[in-house]
Amino acid sequence: MRYPKEEIEKYRRTAGDLENELIDEYKAGTMSRRELLQRGSVLGMSLPFLGLLTGGAQAAVAKPSAIARRTATTLRFGGVIPDGSLEPPLLQSLGALAVSHIPGEQLVFADKNSVLRPRLATSWKASKGSKAWTFNIRKGVKFHDGTPLSADDVVATFNRLLTKDSQALSSFKGVLSQGGVHKVDDHTVRFDLDSPNGFFPYLTGQMTYQAIILPKSYELPSDLSKPGEWTNKMNGTGPFTLKQNRGAAGLTFAANPSYWGGKPAIDTVEYSILEDQARVTALQSGQIDLAHQISFQGAQQLQGHANVIPLQTANHRYLNMNVHVKPFNDVRVRQAIALALDRPQIASGLWGKYAQVGNDSPMWPGYAFTDKSVPQRKQNLAKARALLKAAGATNLNLTLTCYRSFEMPDYAQRVAQALKKIGINCQVKVYTSAQYFDGVSFGAAGKIAPWLSTNFGIVDYGHRPVPLTYLNAALRSGGVWNAARYNSKKFDTMINNFQSAASLKAQKKFARQIELQLLKDTPVIYGYFYNFIAAASPKVHGDVPDGI
C-alpha cells in the first residue's frame, strides 16, 4: 500500500513543470485549496489526486445524473425565453443555452466553484508553453441516434465553430483558428492554438455556449434564421433526448436509457418557456418544480413558497459607450458618466443582498486572480462635471438602449437619473428581446443586431468561470461582441499576457494591469455583478446550479 506522500512524489517525478509549480505554490501557502482545485483541474490533474494533495478526501469524479432528483418521474422546469437560434453554433442567449444543454454535452464541465470536471473528454494536458492542448475523448459514448462518438465528431464540431457565422468566435477569435484542430487517433484530439493559453480547457466547456459536440454529419441550415436539424431532432450525447418541440410553448425531453453516465433519475423533463414573472407565479402555484434565472423581486416573492438558491457569479450588465463617435470619443466624457453613478445604491436597489459592486472591469471579485487592491471607482459628481466642462461637452442629449429583461430597464432609468445630476439629458429606449437580438455579430454576414449597433447601450452577460469571453469578445480590438468598439493594441497585449500566464501569481499581475487600464480608458461601465438565482419546489432535491 502506498501512502499519500509516496503517491505525490511518484506523480511529481513524471509531471510537467506547470503541475510541479502548482504543487510548490500550494505547499508554500500562496494558494488556497479552492485555487488549487481550480488551477489543477485546468491542467488536467485528477480531482482525486488534488484531494490527496490537500490532505482531504476528494471524491472520485462522479458521473453526471439528472439535473435534479425527485420522487416523481417528471420534472417540470420553467426556463427563460430562448431568443435566437437553438442551433448550437448560433447560440447567443441564456434561454437557448439552457434548452440545448439538456440533450447536448461538451468536452468538460465547470462546476459552481469553477473546477473543471470531465464530460466527453476524460482527461487533457497542455504542451510545454500551453500553446497546444491534447484531449482524450471518452469511449463508449453514443449520440441519441446510436452513432458512436469519435474524434472525428469533435474535430468537425470545433471546425464548424471557427467559421465566420459562428457565435463561438466570441470565445475562439484570436485563440483558435481553422486548421488548428487535429485528430490524433480515434479518441484523441489536439488543439494547436494561435498563442499560448493557460485557460483553454474552460473554452471547451459550457462557457462557450456553442461548443456542444455534434455528429460530424451535422449541417447548419442554409437560411440561418430558420430552424435546423438540431432544433427538430437535438441529436446530442446528453442524458435526455428530445421527445417534442412545441415551439414557444416549450419542449419535452425523455431520459436517455443509453446514456454513458447511467440512466437519469427522472424519466421526463417538461420544459416550459416563461417570462420572468411568469416563472415566479408558476412556482408559487405549483405548476412547475424548478426555475433558473430568478430576479431579485422574484426571489422575494418566493420566500416561504420555494427554496431560493442564490449563487455569487460574474453575471453583469455591460454598459457600452462607442468610443469612436461623439461625445464618447472623448475619454473625459466616458469617465464623467462612470463617476456619476452611485454603485452601492444602484446594486442594492436593484438586487438587494444579491449583488456586488463592480469597478468598470470584468474582473469579478470572485475570481482568484482579481486584484482587489485596485481603488474602487466611486461617485464624484463635482469631478464628473469638471471633466465634462474640460471636454466642452455641455447640454448633451443621449439615448440609452436596453431590452426588457429583469432589472435592465430600471437600471437604465437609474443611469439616466444619475446623468441628470451632471447636466446630461438622457432618454431610455427599451426593446423587446426579439428586437434587440435581431441580427448578427460583428464579422458575420447580415444586419448587425441593435444591441451591438447602439452607441450607448446595456446588455447582459452570463457568468463565465474565467473572463476570456468578456475580454476577447467584448473588449479586444475587433471582438465579435465589442459594442464599445474599443480598439487598443496595448490592451490587446494585456489580454494576451493574462491568458498565456501559467501561474496564479502571473495571472494576478496581468489582471491588475487590465483593471487599471480599463479604469483609465472606460469604454464600458461594469456597475455591479449579480447572483444567479434558482428556485425549487420543496419536492426537488439535488439541483446544483453552475451559475451559467
Write out the three cell numbers for 75.
420534472
The CA distances from residue 480 to 177, 212, 270, in Å, are: 15, 20, 34
Q: Are 202 and 126 in contact (CB under 8 A)?
A: no
pLDDT value, residue 49: 74
CA distance 321 to 271: 37
The CA distances from residue 194 to 132, 257, 343, 431, in Å, are: 9, 40, 38, 38
pLDDT value, residue 348: 97
- Sequence spans of domains, the chain: 4-54, 316-530
Write out the three cell numbers for 545.
446550479
Write out the three cell numbers for 139.
469511449
Give residue 481's identity as a one-letter amino acid code.
Answer: W
Local structure of residue 287 (DSSP, 8 states): S
pLDDT value, residue 446: 83
Tens of pLDDT along 314-340? 999 999 999 999 999 999 999 999 999
What would the CATH number be for the domain defined by 316-530? 3.10.105.10
Weakly modelled stretches of the chain, pLDDT under 70 = 1-4, 11, 13-14, 56-72, 543-548
pLDDT value, residue 304: 85
- pTM for this entry: 0.88
pLDDT value, residue 441: 85
Contacts of 479 (CB under 8 A, 6+ apart): 170, 173, 442, 472, 473
DSSP of 224-267 = TTS--HHHHH---SSSEEEEEE-GGGEEEEEE-TT-TT---SSS
Give me the residue label for grid cell 476577447: 472
pLDDT value, residue 36: 79
pLDDT value, residue 265: 87
The CA distances from residue 280 to 295, 302, 352, 377, 543, in Å, are: 9, 7, 18, 35, 17
Tens of pLDDT along 63-77? 555 444 444 489 999
CA distance 358 to 317: 10
Give me the residue label for grid cell 439528472: 66
pLDDT value, residue 70: 43
Give me the residue label for grid cell 412547475: 288
Give residue 140's identity as a one-letter amino acid code.
Answer: G
pLDDT value, residue 63: 56
pLDDT value, residue 161: 96
